[in-house]
Copies of this chain bind each other. A is one copy, B any other.
């Protein structure tokens, strides 16, 4: 049996994969320039990352050619996106954080939280939804609780962390 040693991707490379997947989904083709724009990185940095990802067989890439994800790369990218969505969803729908802040935080946290915790977050969302259906809206209760106890002076007043 041939074992391909695949080391865990760095946060940075995961970001590139994620961006490529998102761009591919949107417009069918991921252009180097757009990746740079999305990740707020120079075009030359993108080239470097693409070379690395190609070495790892995660993207099909030849200079001046099209950029596509390999099957392996697609799978990896989907995992990242999935993690991202679960985390963001938790922030928004349970914690009541605004989508923009939640998205940015998810971007960073998606590289920090392992499968067990992400799974638990997912379950928790499901739990809240189930509870919601059976009468208790957890998110709403929490929001009310925050309003009563912390938000008296205004939205998110008194942040001192």
* A112 x B114 contact (CB < 8 A): no
* A116 x B159 contact (CB < 8 A): yes
Q: Is A29's beta carbon under 8 Å from chain B?
A: no
For A127, the chain B residues whose CB sits under 8 A away are 141-142, 145-146
Contact A126 B149, CB 8 Å, known A82-B161, A159-B116, A159-B119: yes
Show 21 A/B contacts (Cβ-Cβ < 8 Å), sorted by A.
A79-B161, A91-B117, A94-B124, A95-B121, A95-B124, A97-B116, A101-B114, A101-B116, A102-B117, A105-B114, A108-B113, A109-B112, A115-B159, A119-B159, A122-B161, A123-B142, A123-B146, A124-B142, A126-B145, A127-B145, A138-B138
Q: Is A111's beta carbon under 8 Å from chain B?
A: yes
For A117, the chain B residues whose CB sits under 8 A away are 91, 95, 97, 101-102, 105
Number of interface residues of A (CB under 8 A): 44
Q: In the complex, how many angstroms separate the beta carbon of A97 from the nearest chain B beta carbon?
A: 6
For A97, the chain B residues whose CB sits under 8 A away are 116-117, 120
Contacting B at CB under 8 A, from A118-145, are 118-124, 126-127, 130-131, 136, 138, 141-142, 145
Q: In the complex, how many angstroms separate the beta carbon of A134 from the nearest chain B beta carbon?
A: 11
Known: A101-B116, A138-B138. 5 other contacts (CB 8 A): A102-B117, A105-B112, A118-B161, A120-B146, A126-B145
A127 to B86, CA, bound (A): 22
For A136, the chain B residues whose CB sits under 8 A away are 136
| A130 (CB) vs chain B CBs: closest residue | B145
